Structure 1
Amino acid sequence: MVDIDAAGGLVTGGLIAGAVEKPTGKAGDDHAETCTDCGEPTTGNFCANCGQPTHVHRTLLHLGEELLHGVMHFDARVWRTLPLLIANPGRLTREWIQGRRTRYVSPLAIFLFTVFLMFFALSFGGSLVPDETRSIDEQIASSEAAIAELRAQLVEVEADIAADEPGAEGVQTGLQAGLAGAEGQLRALQEAKAGGPRADGLTPGSWQANMADAVHDGRITVGLGDKKMQEKILHKLANPDLAVYKFQQTTYKFAFLLVPMSIPFVWLMFAWKRGFTWYDHGVFVLYSLTFMAILFMALGILGRMNGWFAGVLGTIGVFAVPAHMFAQLKGTYGLSIWSALWRTCLLLFFCLLVSTFFFVAIVALGLGA
């Protein structure tokens, strides 16, 4: 079922973006001779003094049209913006900074709308964390197969040790640790199956049940905030589905914080170069985050497919992020290949920092509230 809050977020995001990005179009064939807003004489479809359309609609049909336009429509400019954002982000960012803006959707408007659209689209598949769809018998069979494979590998490694192969003892230690973990997981699954239905209603052997048990057994600790906040976070983690829901909703509500958190790090990479302003870096960040949201949305939807296709998508996602950063840096700031390359590496590190800060903030806001 579609998340109602996410659907409401989509509508809100469309209306916000519509307020930021004023649509272009005709005001109507008939117009008043005096502006209904400022009272100035008019001669065309728009008031020359305040810009209001001189044809003022007052029909219920037009009210519905405005709602649909705000939620789903950025007129023809979106079809010029998105291809450049994906294939040539440096050109898009540079042209907006240089003032060639009428043909493109503004970075703030498309960022707001994309973030809300992303969480709306992901809500069709449920939570951002996939549910465990396998039965407990299937999980037991999978664990038994993994244990058999590890034991076979240990036999091969023991033969290598007998032949004095270098590094074989280290591999043996790693395989033994993996075997111990797999056997422990198998025992937990067998105990869960023998115990029957859980009192909390969670599926035995699912990740939700494992997390709830870890919280109750004290195997999960929280080092964020004071004792009261830690207790609130642990209380929500004991109900994993609620914790994921709260985390997801808080993430989408506070996604805009990524912008002010990211701009200073981009400025650091150009602090000694003249000609670039904080506004330029803000446009860069907004378009970059928009692409990342689109990429994450596509991977989140398509990645629910099983088999080799999910692995291919993961590989594409890993390489698409630095490739897009490199292209946008090089095109936006007119950098050489080497300058764009080292800044891309630095920007990836900055992204890791910002993501960590943002994750901690979301946990505190969503689970500690």
Structure 2
Amino acid sequence: MEIDAAGGAATAGLIGAAIEKPTGHAGDADGNCTDCGLPVDGNFCANCGQPTHVHRSLLHLVEEVLHGVVHFDGRIWRTLPLLAINPGRLTREWIEGRRTRYVSPLAIFLFSVFLMFFVFSFTGAGSPEMKTTMTAAERAEATHDLAQARASLAEARTELAARPDSNALAVTVRATEATVSMLERRLGVPTTVGDAKRGDGLQPGSWQAEVRDAVEAGNITVNLGNEGLNHKVKKKLLNPDLAIYKIQQTLYKFSFLLIPLSIPFVALLFLWKRGFTLYDHGVFVIYSLTAVSILLLLTVALGKLWSGFGALGAFLFAFGLPVHMFAQLKGTYGLSAFSALWRTIALLFFCFLASTLFLLAIIMLGLTG
């Protein structure tokens, strides 16, 4: 997963670099363009934009790779601060054509999204975790459930000993062992089945084992109206780690679909206002999604260092993002405070709807692909 995530981050950086126009100095002019053959008298060809001086050193190759991956130039330091504190001005300037000083919306969006999944692959973000803290009432309930689960396990083992060829009983025993192990670990009591070996190689009591046992026991059913799709989903669920991996891969591969999915919702807010095009709405959406990606990236990465950063990130998501969206709407479209406020409220609802549809589609694509 780490290799794939690193490849995704590098690919995103290279895509971003490819979208951008060449900047900086390319060397001295020397005769004709090496690409189109026309005479040149500057650092770049006036016809095709090819740099006059074509480097062929290993050091320059390393420089190009680093530039492609991190896109490290002066424009990033002009783009990110504006994206954070004055997103409306950034969006408006790009729409009005003042672009050479900033990283393009699509380039920074692609890089931020793939960098986000690259970080997630190392931090383990997105993987289900078992709750470890309980209230007194929850502990009492878990203790009662553990006693019942142990009794059920003893009964199931007795039945399996009498009928060792029963596959259904074997599945029941494994599922009950997983429940007992999970409850024992939650309560912090000595385990009685935690060290039991499983034929599928999964850790007894882990969430992966619980999902597999639930599928095999029929507690999780799949009915998509097509037997072929049902079989694919069940096969993925029998290997939960593979299912999570497929969903994550599908998520970052199709993350760009959030853009065309979101543009119509923004356009609905400006149906009766002239002077704005779908391109304008697209730039707004891309910069807004980039801000969300960067905030999520920083929250997850810094939250691993100190839990306080995670709490701060949650606060920013709850209150900072609506404020950021309000400021971007107001600055981009030149709205009054009231017009920006009601559009922000409507847009938050549209964001929830669009993200829900997107995640459902990603889960289905990941499990059926």
TM bucket by the smaller chain?
Answer: 0.7 to 0.9
Q: Give the counterpart letter for 1:184 in structure 2.
A: D
Deviation at 1:352, TM superposition (A): 1.5
Aligned 8 A contact 2:237 2:243 in 1: yes
Deviation at 1:131, TM superposition (A): 5.0
Indicate the residue corresponding to 1:184 in structure 2.
145
Aligned 8 A contact 2:299 2:309 in 1: no
Indicate the residue corresponding to 2:367 in structure 1.
367
Q: Give, in whole Å, the separation in 2 of the partners of 1:10 and 1:104.
A: 20
Cα deviation per residue 1:249-277 (whole Å; 9 max; x = unaligned)? 11011111111111111111111110100
Which stretch of the first structure deviates more once superposed, 16-25 or 37-46?
37-46
Indicate the residue corresponding to 1:4 in structure 2.
3
Matches within 5 A, 1:216-295: 216-224=216-224, 226-295=226-295
Aligned 8 A contact 2:13 2:68 in 1: yes
Indicate the residue corresponding to 2:32 in structure 1.
34
% identity of equivalent residues: 61
Q: Give the counterpart letter for 2:321 in structure 1.
A: V
Deviation at 1:116, TM superposition (A): 1.2
Deviation at 1:113, TM superposition (A): 1.1
Say whether 1:124 aligns with 2:122: yes
Q: Give the counterpart letter for 2:5 in structure 1.
A: A
Aligned 8 A contact 2:33 2:40 in 1: yes
Q: 1:235 to 1:257 in 2, by over 3 A?
A: same
TM-score by length of 2: 0.82
Cα deviation per residue 1:104-157 (whole Å; 9 max; x = unaligned)? 11101111111111111222213521555x9xxxx5xx55xx3x3469xxxxxx
Indicate the residue corresponding to 1:98 in structure 2.
96
Coordinate RMSD, CA, aligned: 2.4
Q: Give, in whole Å, the separation in 2 of the partners of 1:222 and 1:306.
A: 40
Deviation at 1:97, TM superposition (A): 0.6
Q: 1:241 to 1:190 in 2, by over 3 A?
A: closer
Indicate the residue corresponding to 1:170 in structure 2.
none
Q: 1:225 to 1:46 in 2, by over 3 A?
A: farther
Q: Give, in whole Å, the separation in 2 of the partners of 1:21 and 1:36.
A: 21
> Which runs of no fewer than 5 residues in structure 2 stay unpaired?
150-177, 182-190
Say whether 1:72 aligns with 2:70: yes
Q: Give, in whole Å, the separation in 2 of the partners of 1:270 and 1:182.
A: 57
Aligned 8 A contact 1:212 1:238 in 2: yes
Q: 1:184 to 1:294 in 2, by over 3 A?
A: same
Q: Give, in whole Å, the separation in 2 of the partners of 1:225 and 1:18.
A: 44
Q: Give, in whole Å, the separation in 2 of the partners of 1:183 and 1:108.
A: 54
Aligned 8 A contact 1:325 1:344 in 2: yes
TM-score by length of 1: 0.82
Q: 1:190 to 1:358 in 2, by over 3 A?
A: closer
Q: Give, in whole Å, the separation in 1 of the partners of 2:56 and 2:127.
A: 46
Aligned 8 A contact 2:322 2:348 in 1: yes
Indicate the residue corresponding to 1:319 in structure 2.
319
Aligned 8 A contact 1:10 1:71 in 2: yes
Q: Give the counterpart letter for 2:289 in structure 1.
A: L
Q: Give, in whole Å, the separation in 1 of the partners of 2:119 and 2:315.
A: 22
Matches within 5 A, 1:52-63: 52-63=50-61
Q: Give, in whole Å, the separation in 1 of the partners of 2:308 and 2:299.
A: 14
